[in-house]
Structure 1
Amino acid sequence: MSYKLNKWLILIIPTVTIGLWEYIRHEFLLSYISMELGNLLSPIIVFIVTIVFLTKLFSNMERNQQELTEAKAMQDVLLEREHIAAELHDGIAQSLFLLNVQLEQAYREQSEEHYTKLKAQIHHTNAYVREAITSLRSPIKVQSLQLKEQLAQFLNELEMRMDVTIQLNWKLNDELLTLKERIDLLLSIREGLYNIKKHAKADHIWIDAFPTEKGWYCCVRDNGVGFLEEDLSRSEQFGLSMVHERAERWDWSFEIERRNEQTYFRITKNKA
């Protein structure tokens, strides 16, 4: 049933009900039902009709609204992945051009140093492409998204690829975030974990999330060597720039801090 039809039925049914009741009682029931009793029965009849018919219509409207919200959230995810794919395309094109230049130079000079640099560049490009493809292939189940379950599934996959112990302490209720906020928070946590995997050389990662008096707090920390945004490649900086954009979109606070030989990747929400 369409949203427009639902809306009109919700408006019309109570009106038609009270109209029919008033007509029937005045035309046929006045000798049996007094005016006082008829007036008392009118709201009761409308209430019963509302419970029987309108409750279902309201449920249909809520379901339609939920489907629209999920479709919009999925569209946002697809748009973001298009951005990632475009950045992946540019990064591969630049890397292949550089490889071509280095190949020609190494061929002319027969230099061992150039061969070493070329090998390192090939390894970097290969790792970059693999990581980007893994990110694009990792599905996000928009329908009834449960942050803790989705994150736990992703962490299990990550632990199988990394020699690292990951501790998840998740006490943040999904009700504190909208569906789109949950998706953006999950994508941001993934980006933090990818950067730890690439640069931090950590063997232990902690993920904490819990509500606060003014909102909520989420932190990914590790015991690795850390990393600075300015030291990252263009493609890696793009990933963190997306986290900054999400934080700005939802009025979150995002920061990366190195303290006590640990790196903190923090996202917090403080309600106005």
Structure 2
Amino acid sequence: MPYNRIKWLILSIPTITIALWEYVRHAFLLPYISMDLGNLLAPVIVLLVTVTFVRMLMRRLEQVHESLQQERALKAGLMEREQLARELHDGISQSLFLLSVKLDRLEQETAGGQAAKTVSQLRSTVRHVYEDVRQSIASLRKEPAVADVQWMQAVKQMADDLALIGLQVEVDWRLPDAALTNKEKVELLAIIREAMFNVQKHARASRLKVRAAEAEDGGFRCTVTDNGTGTEQAELEAMGRYGVRMMMDRAAVMGWRLVIAPASGEDGMNGLMVEVAKEGKRK
């Protein structure tokens, strides 16, 4: 029901109710109900009808208002993401591409020797960063998951994307949509996405498993494990690992526990495990 119609119904229900009551009373009930009793019953009937219907309309009005607020926030977020994607494309992405071209030319001019080897390494690094930027632009231009969509489909879509490059991904998702707020869904999805693409970029893994389930105390536990090479804790905490720092920052802001450690080896997953857990309030 449209927002304006709900407002007009809320305003008009008392008037409509008293008008209907007066018509029924004078047309049908006048021989049975005195004027004094009718006048006494009028405000009672108006109150009962108003409380019954207006409360339902107010709840509906709140839902519509919340939906409008979500749509405005989503639109603003999409505009910001599109602006950021455009700036990345017009600035960093194009600069990296030109730098890669110049390195190709420099490599041809310095054929052979240590200089050529260094240039080749630089070119490989620049191209890797360039692909990361392009991936970031593509991610920014994808519509983020929202509350009225089965947002776990975004996780499955990422799994399908990784499967296209030969990574076997298994998703065991038992976390209901209603278990998380909109903000929690956005932050958890960002952490899962970063963990999954880190596996693709760094772990040299062939299998990846994503698990999520609701805890008995009302919280949740989500893990991303792989069968890759793993890594040392010191390397994970290195300043260059911006993705790991991003996951830690997001988890800290939400009050979640984030653990990055060697996997247990269950189902052959003996690489790395990223675990996000929220402690519930029910005991």
Normalised by the shorter chain, which TM-score bucket? 0.7 to 0.9
Q: Aligned letter for 1:148?
A: M
Equivalent residue, structure 2, for 1:63: 64
Work out whether 1:157 is the aligned partner of 2:161. yes
Q: Secondary structure at the match of 2:257?
A: strand
Q: Aligned letter for 2:278?
A: K
2:85 and 2:191 map into 1 onto residues whose CA distance is: 13
1:264 to 231, 256, 273: 273
1:180 to 183, 199, 204: 183
| Percent identity of paired positions between Structure 1 and Structure 2 | 22
CA contact (8 A) 1:219 1:266 kept: yes
2:245 and 2:97 map into 1 onto residues whose CA distance is: 21
Q: Aligned letter for 2:212?
A: A
Equivalent residue, structure 2, for 1:195: 198
Matches within 5 A, 1:1-272: 10=10, 12-13=11-12, 15-16=14-15, 32-34=32-34, 43-44=44-45, 46-48=47-49, 55-56=56-57, 58-76=59-77, 79=80, 89=91, 107=109, 111=113, 112-142=116-146, 144-161=148-165, 163-212=166-215, 213-227=217-231, 228-231=235-238, 233=240, 237=242, 239-260=243-264, 261-272=270-281
2:31 and 2:80 map into 1 onto residues whose CA distance is: 68
CA contact (8 A) 2:258 2:276 kept: yes
CA contact (8 A) 2:168 2:208 kept: yes
Q: Aligned letter for 1:183?
A: V
- Are residues 245 and 6 of structure 1, via their aligned partners in 2, closer, same or farther at CA, if it must alter by over 3 Å? farther
Q: Secondary structure at the match of 1:189?
A: helix
CA contact (8 A) 1:226 1:258 kept: yes
Alpha-carbon offset, residue 172 of structure 1? 0.6
CA contact (8 A) 2:100 2:127 kept: no
What TM-score comes out, normalization by structure 1 length? 0.73
Deviations 1:36-80 (A, max 9, x none): 677567545554466667645642441232121243245346546
**For the aligned residues, what is the CA RMSD?**
4.1
Deviations 1:98-130 (A, max 9, x none): 986897698469634234324423442343234
Q: Aligned letter for 2:220?
A: W
- Are residues 123 and 110 of structure 1, via their aligned partners in 2, closer, same or farther at CA, if it must alter by over 3 Å? same
Say which is worse superposed, 123-132 or 148-157, in terms of deviation: 123-132
Say which is worse superposed, 58-67 or 210-219, in terms of deviation: 58-67
Say which is worse superposed, 115-124 or 100-109, in terms of deviation: 100-109
Alpha-carbon offset, residue 210 of structure 1? 0.8
- Are residues 17 and 126 of structure 1, via their aligned partners in 2, closer, same or farther at CA, if it must alter by over 3 Å? closer
2:276 and 2:223 map into 1 onto residues whose CA distance is: 6
- Are residues 141 and 74 of structure 1, via their aligned partners in 2, closer, same or farther at CA, if it must alter by over 3 Å? farther
What TM-score comes out, normalization by structure 2 length? 0.71
- Are residues 204 and 108 of structure 1, via their aligned partners in 2, closer, same or farther at CA, if it must alter by over 3 Å? closer
2:81 and 2:280 map into 1 onto residues whose CA distance is: 26
Alpha-carbon offset, residue 209 of structure 1? 0.7
Which ranges of structure 1 fall in alignment gaps of 5 or more residues? none
Q: Across the two proteins, how many residue pairs are aligned to each other?
A: 267
